[in-house]
Chain A
Amino acid sequence: MNTLLRWPLVPLGGFEWFLDNANETQPAWWQSAAGFPPINAWSDDDAVHVETEVPGLRLEQIEVTVSGNQLMLSGERPEVSEPGVTVHRRERPVGRFSRTLTLPFEVESGQVEARLAQGVLFVDLPKAQSARPRRIEIKASR
Protein backbone atom coordinates (compact mmCIF):
# COMPACT_ATOMS: atom_id res chain seq x y z
CA MET A 1 0.00 0.00 0.00
CA ASN A 2 1.23 3.46 -0.70
CA THR A 3 3.33 4.94 2.06
CA LEU A 4 2.40 8.41 3.13
CA LEU A 5 5.02 10.75 1.82
CA ARG A 6 5.92 14.10 3.16
CA TRP A 7 8.47 15.94 1.10
CA PRO A 8 9.54 19.51 0.60
CA LEU A 9 9.13 20.38 -3.02
CA VAL A 10 10.95 22.95 -5.07
CA PRO A 11 12.13 25.22 -2.31
CA LEU A 12 12.06 28.68 -3.77
CA GLY A 13 13.81 31.49 -2.04
CA GLY A 14 13.15 30.06 1.38
CA PHE A 15 9.57 28.99 0.72
CA GLU A 16 8.89 25.32 1.02
CA TRP A 17 5.75 23.68 -0.13
CA PHE A 18 4.80 20.70 1.93
CA LEU A 19 2.31 18.13 0.91
CA ASP A 20 0.21 17.08 3.79
CA ASN A 21 -1.07 13.69 2.84
CA ALA A 22 -2.52 12.83 6.22
CA ASN A 23 -6.06 12.95 4.89
CA GLU A 24 -5.36 11.13 1.70
CA THR A 25 -7.36 8.08 0.83
CA GLN A 26 -6.60 6.16 -2.29
CA PRO A 27 -8.05 3.21 -4.13
CA ALA A 28 -6.48 -0.07 -3.13
CA TRP A 29 -4.41 -0.45 -6.28
CA TRP A 30 -3.09 3.08 -6.49
CA GLN A 31 0.63 3.11 -5.97
CA SER A 32 1.85 6.36 -7.38
CA ALA A 33 4.21 8.29 -5.20
CA ALA A 34 2.79 11.57 -6.38
CA GLY A 35 -0.62 11.13 -4.82
CA PHE A 36 -3.99 11.20 -6.41
CA PRO A 37 -5.06 13.31 -8.06
CA PRO A 38 -1.73 14.65 -9.34
CA ILE A 39 -1.32 18.37 -8.83
CA ASN A 40 0.68 21.12 -10.50
CA ALA A 41 0.95 24.47 -8.82
CA TRP A 42 2.73 27.66 -9.66
CA SER A 43 2.71 31.25 -8.53
CA ASP A 44 3.05 34.66 -10.07
CA ASP A 45 3.00 38.08 -8.51
CA ASP A 46 -0.73 38.07 -7.96
CA ALA A 47 -1.86 34.54 -7.32
CA VAL A 48 -1.18 30.90 -6.76
CA HIS A 49 -2.51 28.69 -9.54
CA VAL A 50 -3.34 25.04 -8.98
CA GLU A 51 -4.34 22.52 -11.60
CA THR A 52 -5.21 18.88 -11.15
CA GLU A 53 -6.48 16.13 -13.39
CA VAL A 54 -9.84 14.75 -12.35
CA PRO A 55 -11.26 13.09 -15.47
CA GLY A 56 -14.74 11.70 -15.25
CA LEU A 57 -15.77 13.87 -12.35
CA ARG A 58 -18.66 16.24 -12.56
CA LEU A 59 -18.85 19.48 -10.63
CA GLU A 60 -20.97 18.01 -7.88
CA GLN A 61 -18.43 15.27 -7.25
CA ILE A 62 -15.57 17.63 -6.40
CA GLU A 63 -15.12 19.81 -3.37
CA VAL A 64 -12.63 22.67 -3.15
CA THR A 65 -12.12 24.22 0.28
CA VAL A 66 -9.84 27.06 1.30
CA SER A 67 -9.10 27.66 4.95
CA GLY A 68 -6.36 30.01 6.04
CA ASN A 69 -3.46 29.08 3.83
CA GLN A 70 -4.65 25.55 3.21
CA LEU A 71 -6.31 24.29 0.07
CA MET A 72 -8.20 21.05 0.21
CA LEU A 73 -9.35 19.10 -2.82
CA SER A 74 -11.63 16.17 -2.30
CA GLY A 75 -14.12 14.12 -4.18
CA GLU A 76 -15.05 10.72 -5.38
CA ARG A 77 -15.11 8.96 -8.69
CA PRO A 78 -17.57 6.14 -8.25
CA GLU A 79 -16.69 2.68 -9.40
CA VAL A 80 -19.03 1.46 -12.08
CA SER A 81 -19.58 -2.23 -12.32
CA GLU A 82 -22.24 -3.90 -14.39
CA PRO A 83 -23.30 -7.51 -14.36
CA GLY A 84 -22.43 -9.57 -17.40
CA VAL A 85 -19.36 -7.54 -18.17
CA THR A 86 -15.86 -9.01 -18.27
CA VAL A 87 -13.15 -6.69 -17.06
CA HIS A 88 -9.96 -7.09 -19.08
CA ARG A 89 -8.10 -4.16 -17.63
CA ARG A 90 -8.69 -1.53 -15.02
CA GLU A 91 -6.16 1.27 -14.75
CA ARG A 92 -8.30 4.31 -14.15
CA PRO A 93 -8.34 5.18 -10.48
CA VAL A 94 -11.67 5.20 -8.68
CA GLY A 95 -12.77 5.94 -5.18
CA ARG A 96 -12.52 8.78 -2.72
CA PHE A 97 -9.62 11.17 -2.71
CA SER A 98 -8.62 14.02 -0.50
CA ARG A 99 -5.50 16.15 -0.67
CA THR A 100 -4.55 19.14 1.38
CA LEU A 101 -1.94 21.61 0.27
CA THR A 102 -0.31 24.12 2.54
CA LEU A 103 0.21 27.23 0.49
CA PRO A 104 3.29 29.33 0.93
CA PHE A 105 1.26 32.52 0.80
CA GLU A 106 -1.82 33.83 2.49
CA VAL A 107 -4.66 33.99 0.01
CA GLU A 108 -7.89 35.93 -0.25
CA SER A 109 -10.23 33.03 0.31
CA GLY A 110 -13.24 35.08 -0.75
CA GLN A 111 -11.75 35.55 -4.20
CA VAL A 112 -10.67 32.03 -4.97
CA GLU A 113 -12.02 30.80 -8.27
CA ALA A 114 -12.25 27.25 -9.53
CA ARG A 115 -13.31 25.94 -12.90
CA LEU A 116 -13.53 22.52 -14.48
CA ALA A 117 -12.80 21.86 -18.16
CA GLN A 118 -12.16 18.57 -19.97
CA GLY A 119 -11.50 16.80 -16.73
CA VAL A 120 -8.97 19.34 -15.44
CA LEU A 121 -9.71 21.41 -12.36
CA PHE A 122 -8.14 24.85 -12.24
CA VAL A 123 -8.03 26.82 -8.99
CA ASP A 124 -6.81 30.41 -8.89
CA LEU A 125 -6.02 31.77 -5.46
CA PRO A 126 -5.26 35.48 -5.34
CA LYS A 127 -2.56 36.31 -2.87
CA ALA A 128 -3.50 38.37 0.12
CA GLN A 129 -2.42 41.97 -0.25
CA SER A 130 0.23 41.55 2.40
CA ALA A 131 1.77 38.71 0.41
CA ARG A 132 2.08 40.52 -2.87
CA PRO A 133 5.35 42.07 -3.83
CA ARG A 134 5.33 45.66 -2.85
CA ARG A 135 7.58 48.08 -4.50
CA ILE A 136 9.51 50.05 -1.93
CA GLU A 137 10.15 53.61 -2.75
CA ILE A 138 13.71 54.59 -2.11
CA LYS A 139 14.04 58.01 -0.66
CA ALA A 140 17.17 59.86 -1.37
CA SER A 141 18.89 61.03 1.77
CA ARG A 142 21.65 63.53 2.29
Chain B
Amino acid sequence: MTDKTPRRDQDTGTGLLESRGNGGPHPARNAPVYRPDVDLYENDRELLLVADLPGARAETIDVRYEDGTLTLTAHVEPPDPATRRYLLREYGVGDYQRSFRVDERIDATRIEGQYAEGVLTLRLPKVEAARPTKVPIRGA
Protein backbone atom coordinates (compact mmCIF):
# COMPACT_ATOMS: atom_id res chain seq x y z
CA MET B 1 0.00 0.00 0.00
CA THR B 2 1.14 3.53 -0.52
CA ASP B 3 2.52 5.33 2.44
CA LYS B 4 -0.18 7.48 3.86
CA THR B 5 0.03 10.63 5.85
CA PRO B 6 -2.14 10.69 8.93
CA ARG B 7 -5.69 9.99 7.99
CA ARG B 8 -7.20 13.32 8.71
CA ASP B 9 -5.56 15.82 6.42
CA GLN B 10 -6.62 19.22 7.36
CA ASP B 11 -7.23 21.68 4.59
CA THR B 12 -8.24 25.16 5.42
CA GLY B 13 -11.69 25.88 4.08
CA THR B 14 -11.56 28.24 1.15
CA GLY B 15 -15.24 28.93 0.80
CA LEU B 16 -15.69 26.04 -1.60
CA LEU B 17 -18.75 24.94 0.22
CA GLU B 18 -21.74 26.92 -0.88
CA SER B 19 -24.67 27.32 1.37
CA ARG B 20 -27.84 25.98 -0.07
CA GLY B 21 -31.36 27.02 0.71
CA ASN B 22 -32.38 23.56 1.72
CA GLY B 23 -30.03 23.46 4.64
CA GLY B 24 -26.95 22.06 3.00
CA PRO B 25 -23.39 22.62 4.16
CA HIS B 26 -22.52 26.05 5.36
CA PRO B 27 -19.65 28.13 4.03
CA ALA B 28 -16.60 27.01 5.91
CA ARG B 29 -14.19 29.87 5.53
CA ASN B 30 -11.24 29.61 7.85
CA ALA B 31 -12.65 26.45 9.37
CA PRO B 32 -10.90 23.13 8.97
CA VAL B 33 -12.29 20.88 6.24
CA TYR B 34 -11.45 17.23 6.34
CA ARG B 35 -10.91 14.79 3.53
CA PRO B 36 -12.87 11.61 4.23
CA ASP B 37 -11.37 8.16 3.65
CA VAL B 38 -13.00 6.39 0.72
CA ASP B 39 -13.05 3.02 -0.93
CA LEU B 40 -13.72 2.94 -4.66
CA TYR B 41 -15.00 -0.17 -6.37
CA GLU B 42 -16.22 -1.05 -9.83
CA ASN B 43 -18.22 -3.89 -11.28
CA ASP B 44 -19.88 -4.36 -14.64
CA ARG B 45 -22.88 -2.30 -13.78
CA GLU B 46 -21.74 0.51 -11.58
CA LEU B 47 -19.07 2.36 -9.67
CA LEU B 48 -19.31 2.18 -5.92
CA LEU B 49 -17.96 4.84 -3.60
CA VAL B 50 -17.91 4.23 0.13
CA ALA B 51 -16.91 7.13 2.37
CA ASP B 52 -16.38 7.37 6.11
CA LEU B 53 -18.20 10.47 7.37
CA PRO B 54 -18.35 9.92 11.11
CA GLY B 55 -20.32 12.59 12.92
CA ALA B 56 -22.22 13.87 9.89
CA ARG B 57 -26.00 13.90 9.90
CA ALA B 58 -27.61 12.54 6.77
CA GLU B 59 -29.45 15.75 5.91
CA THR B 60 -26.20 17.69 5.68
CA ILE B 61 -24.63 15.39 3.10
CA ASP B 62 -24.48 16.88 -0.37
CA VAL B 63 -23.44 14.95 -3.48
CA ARG B 64 -23.03 16.66 -6.84
CA TYR B 65 -22.03 15.18 -10.15
CA GLU B 66 -21.12 17.59 -12.91
CA ASP B 67 -18.93 17.25 -15.99
CA GLY B 68 -17.31 14.10 -14.79
CA THR B 69 -16.55 15.40 -11.32
CA LEU B 70 -18.25 14.05 -8.26
CA THR B 71 -18.13 16.31 -5.21
CA LEU B 72 -19.07 15.16 -1.77
CA THR B 73 -19.61 17.50 1.17
CA ALA B 74 -21.05 17.05 4.63
CA HIS B 75 -21.41 19.28 7.63
CA VAL B 76 -20.34 18.37 11.13
CA GLU B 77 -20.94 20.75 13.96
CA PRO B 78 -17.58 21.44 15.60
CA PRO B 79 -17.42 21.32 19.36
CA ASP B 80 -16.60 24.42 21.31
CA PRO B 81 -13.10 23.58 22.51
CA ALA B 82 -12.89 26.66 24.68
CA THR B 83 -15.02 24.91 27.25
CA ARG B 84 -13.05 21.68 27.26
CA ARG B 85 -9.91 20.58 29.07
CA TYR B 86 -8.48 18.09 26.60
CA LEU B 87 -6.48 15.17 27.87
CA LEU B 88 -6.04 13.63 24.45
CA ARG B 89 -6.79 15.09 21.08
CA GLU B 90 -6.01 12.92 18.09
CA TYR B 91 -8.51 14.11 15.55
CA GLY B 92 -10.33 17.23 14.55
CA VAL B 93 -14.08 17.55 14.16
CA GLY B 94 -15.43 19.50 11.23
CA ASP B 95 -16.89 19.46 7.76
CA TYR B 96 -15.95 16.95 5.10
CA GLN B 97 -15.25 17.60 1.46
CA ARG B 98 -13.74 15.63 -1.35
CA SER B 99 -13.94 15.61 -5.14
CA PHE B 100 -13.32 12.82 -7.61
CA ARG B 101 -12.82 12.64 -11.32
CA VAL B 102 -15.01 9.89 -12.61
CA ASP B 103 -13.79 8.51 -15.92
CA GLU B 104 -16.59 6.12 -16.63
CA ARG B 105 -19.66 7.47 -18.25
CA ILE B 106 -22.14 7.62 -15.46
CA ASP B 107 -25.89 7.91 -15.62
CA ALA B 108 -26.17 10.84 -13.24
CA THR B 109 -29.94 10.54 -13.01
CA ARG B 110 -29.60 7.16 -11.36
CA ILE B 111 -26.96 7.87 -8.73
CA GLU B 112 -28.14 6.49 -5.40
CA GLY B 113 -26.82 7.15 -1.94
CA GLN B 114 -27.32 5.50 1.39
CA TYR B 115 -26.01 6.64 4.77
CA ALA B 116 -25.78 4.55 7.90
CA GLU B 117 -23.50 4.42 10.92
CA GLY B 118 -21.38 7.25 9.60
CA VAL B 119 -20.73 5.59 6.24
CA LEU B 120 -22.01 6.91 2.91
CA THR B 121 -22.40 4.41 0.07
CA LEU B 122 -22.87 5.84 -3.40
CA ARG B 123 -23.85 3.76 -6.38
CA LEU B 124 -23.07 5.34 -9.71
CA PRO B 125 -24.62 3.26 -12.49
CA LYS B 126 -22.79 3.20 -15.76
CA VAL B 127 -24.71 4.25 -18.84
CA GLU B 128 -25.81 1.28 -20.90
CA ALA B 129 -23.20 1.82 -23.56
CA ALA B 130 -20.37 1.74 -21.03
CA ARG B 131 -21.21 -1.69 -19.77
CA PRO B 132 -19.09 -4.47 -21.15
CA THR B 133 -21.13 -6.37 -23.68
CA LYS B 134 -20.47 -9.92 -24.48
CA VAL B 135 -20.06 -10.45 -28.17
CA PRO B 136 -21.66 -13.66 -29.35
CA ILE B 137 -19.36 -15.69 -31.58
CA ARG B 138 -21.01 -17.78 -34.17
CA GLY B 139 -19.26 -20.92 -35.15
CA ALA B 140 -18.44 -21.40 -38.82
Contact = CB atoms under 8 A, between A and B. Distances in A.
B6 interface: yes
Interface string B68-106: 000000000000000011111111010000000000000
B119 A119 contact: yes
Of the listed residues A29, A55, A88, the one surrounded by the most CB atoms of chain B closer than 10 A to its CB is: A55
Contact of B88 (A17, A58, A93): A17
Interface residues of B, number: 34
Interface string A31-47: 11111001111111000
A34 B6 contact: yes
Contact of A40 (B43, B89, B117): B89
Given A41-B87, A118-B54, A31 B40 contact: no
Nearest to A94: B39
Given A19-B88, A34-B6, A85 B117 contact: no
Interface in A90-110: 90-93, 101, 104
Interface string A50-86: 0001111110000000000000000000000010111
A136 interface: no
Nearest to B52: A55
Interface majority SS (helix, strand, loop, mixed), chain B:
loop
Contacts of A10: 86-89
Nearest to B7: A32
A138 interface: no
B55 A53 contact: yes
B90 A119 contact: no
Contacts of B87: 9-10, 12, 15, 17, 41-43, 48, 104
7 cross-chain pairs, A with B, having the tightest CB-CB distances, nearest first: A119-B118, A55-B118, A29-B1, A119-B54, A38-B91, A53-B54, A88-B40
10 contacts: A9-B88, A9-B89, A29-B1, A53-B52, A85-B43, A86-B41, A91-B4, A118-B56, A118-B118, A119-B55
